[in-house]
Structure 1
Amino acid sequence: MTSPVAVARGLAAAVLAPAAAEVDRSGVLPRGHLDALADAGLYGLIGPAHAGGLGADLGTFAAVVEELAAGDLAAAFVWLQHHGVVGRVAAAGSDPGLLAGLCRGRVRAGIALQAATRPDAAPVTVRRDVSDLVLDGAAPWVTGWGLLDLLLVAARDGDDVAFVLVDAVEGPTLAVLPQSLVAVQASATVELRLTGHRVPSARLVGRTPLAAVRAGDAAGLRLNGSLALGLVLRCTRLLGPSPLDDDLGAARARLDAAGPGELPDARAEAAALAHRASGALVVATGSAAVRAGSVAERTAREALFLLVFGSRPAIRASLRARLGAAG
């Protein structure tokens, strides 16, 4: 059986990378790219075997993220969000049909999670009204709009965070505002606005104390680091043998070994390395790198994006120190 990492590498080389410049230029991610990932079983990468998933471990998951990001960051970015929903629905164990659909990629999902826990923004909230859950608030960064069937929304309910599945369909109580991004515009990232939005109470798939969600936040940073390492991987393949090869291995090993307290700094190291690797690719490419649409130009913008994507205060502080801006 071909490993998921080899499958991802093949799809990235045959499908994602050849179209990446046009995807970036048009700002449109072809649904067929995501169909190819689903047909290969990658939408069920971490799903349980009984639901049609591959049951991959974290190391395999991280390696697949790298390969897909090396091919096309926008596609990897949209695909990655889906797995947060697979994991939450699998843990709930209450809807085997939905879980099977998610694992096979027949149902595609995204996440709207951070607005419930960020201390610097009004959270999305949820309340119960008879047999419905009612959601209010805004989530500023929701990826994959128009390519998704469901969203997993994290909403505050007193001292708890409720995880609620919402149909990804605009209407009177659910609106989206497109975000204009310097890179991965094809990720179709929007701001989600909910105003008295009702869903059946059966759409609740979990509830966790807010303190526990915040305490566990760092543990979820590992995979976002693989997006940055995917850019480094792209650069090393285009540049040929160089010291970046060893730097990539070291950054990957550090992310793999880091505990929750060490992950923010390891994440910062990965993002800073992507920034440096993209700079090396620009220099090696020469003046052609300043032409819009070149691989080097696109990679440099994507590295800029990853300096701030999924950031936290500890990551930002580490990056400032690494880039010489601490003080």
Structure 2
Amino acid sequence: MSDIVARARALADDLLFPAATGVDADGVLPGAALDTLAAEGLYGLTGPASHGGLAADPPTVHAVAEALAGGDLSVTFIWLQHLTVPAMVAGSPLAGEFLADLCTGRVRSGIALLAATRPEPVAITARREATSFVLDGGVPWVTGWGHVDVLLVAARTPDDVVHLLLVDAQAGPTLEVVPQRLVAVQASATVELRVRGHVVPASRLVRSVPLAEWQAADPGNLRTNGSLALGVAARCARLGELPALEVDVAAVRARLDAAGPDGLPAARAAAAALAHRAAGLLAVAVGSRSVSRGHPAERLTREALFLLVFGSRPAIRAALLGELGG
């Protein structure tokens, strides 16, 4: 899989990073960037080879995500949400209809999983009516609106079962989106999603999982998000010519790779704290230019701030407060 990682690094250096300042200033992501990732096969990174995916192992997924995050975090943020969906759809009743298109990027996906990751209050509820599920509620963060065709939505029934449904990403009377204004990655087209009596055919059910089972497995899913912070930190090290920082990036990467579920929240916190420190070091190394709007150091500093809270959990937050001296 080393050739996939090399391709991702080349895309980050030659395509994404040179355009990132303009993308950040405009707050709008050109579709061509995501089209290029699809053409390179990266939308199928986690999909099975039987349906055109690359069936990459976790270390490869982490390395690709880290490389792309060091190019343009907005692009990577949208693309990373997609990776959950081919892996979930594989082996489900929807595989025949969707999996090949998900792997090629002909169908692109986002996620709205808060009802599974936050116990209370329930973000999105579901009730079964004949051959449909009816959804009510909302989530504050759905990334890639306008760049995705479907959303993997977690909705819960009163018996604490999480139903994962593939929902068309189309606004209407029962599905509303409100754009978010973010300190960084504004071009990620992140919105608040609200649903009121939104009907989804039961044929769009990917799987149903007891809430306790999902939450028991959740800590093991935290590693990939840590690659975003590593990518930002590594880019800071390269731009600032800070070899000691590169050593720190390697150490935190090794810590993330070695951590089991119990240790992953602290390792994730260490990665976010490192990105924050790396951006500060880059700003000092660059000097006064780093506070000029549009300088890469200024953008990376805002991205590091964003990553302090992105994909957080109570255990990550507590560990970060310790890392930062709180």
CA-to-partner distance for each residue in 1:146-188, whole Å, 9 max, x for gaps? Answer: 1000000000022210000100000000000111100000011
* Matches of 2:262 and 2:2, distance apart in 1: 35
Partner of 2:98: 98
How far the C-alpha of 1:2 sits from its partner, in A, is 6.8
Alignment of 1:199-214 (within 5 A): 199-214=200-215
Superposition deviation, residue 116 in structure 1: 3.7
Q: In the TM superposition, what are the counterparts of 1:283-302 in structure 2 within 5 Å?
A: 283-302=284-303
Q: Which amino acid aligns with 2:154?
A: A
RMSD between aligned residues: 1.2
Deviation for aligned residue 1:115: 3.1
Tell me the equivalent position of 1:7. Answer: 7
In 2, the alpha carbon distance for the partners of 1:257 and 1:93 equals 34
Aligned length: 325
Q: Summarize deviations over 1:234-278 as a string: whole Å, max 9, x none.
A: 012112252111111110011011000000000000000000000
* TM-score, scaled to structure 1: 0.97
Q: Corresponding residue for 1:279?
A: 280
User: Is the partner of 2:273 in helix, strand or coil?
Assistant: helix
Q: CA deviation at 1:23?
A: 0.6
Task: State the identity as a percent.
Answer: 60
> What amino acid sits opposite 1:240 in the alignment?
E
5+ unaligned residues in a row in structure 2: which ranges? none
CA distance in 2, matches of 1:163, 1:2: 33
Deviation at 1:46, TM superposition (A): 1.3
CA distance in 2, matches of 1:94, 1:304: 38
Report matched runs for 1:242-321 at 5 Å: 242-321=243-322
- Which amino acid is 1:275 matched to? H
Quick check: 2:116–2:215 contact (8 Å CA) kept in 1?
A: no
156-165 vs 88-97, greater mean Cα deviation: 88-97
| Aligned residue number for residue 44 of structure 1 | 44
Alignment-derived partner of residue 121 in structure 2 = 121
What's the counterpart of residue 148 of structure 1? 148
Residue 33 (str. 1) matches residue 19 (str. 2): no
Shift of 1:289: 0.5
- Alpha-carbon contact 2:140-2:193 (below 8 Å) kept: yes
Contact 1:89 1:99 in 2 (8 A): yes
List gaps (5 residues or longer) in structure 1.
none
Residues in 1 aligned to 2:89 and 2:320: alpha-carbon distance in whole angstroms: 34
SS at match of 2:111: strand
Q: Which amino acid aligns with 1:83?
A: L
Partner of 2:60: 60
Report the CA distance between 1:132 and its aligned residue.
Answer: 1.3
* 8 A Cα contact 1:116 1:125, kept in partner: no
* Aligned ranges 1:212-251 → 2 under 5 Å: 212-251=213-252
1:182 equivalent in alignment to 2:183: yes
- Cα distance in 2 for partners of 1:301, 1:94 equals 39
- What is the deviation of 1:291? 0.5
What is the match of residue 109 of structure 1?
Answer: 109
- In the alignment, the residues of structure 2 paired with residue 2 and residue 312 of structure 1 have an alpha-carbon distance, to the nearest angstrom, of 32
CA distance in 1 between counterparts of 2:59 and 2:186 reads 28
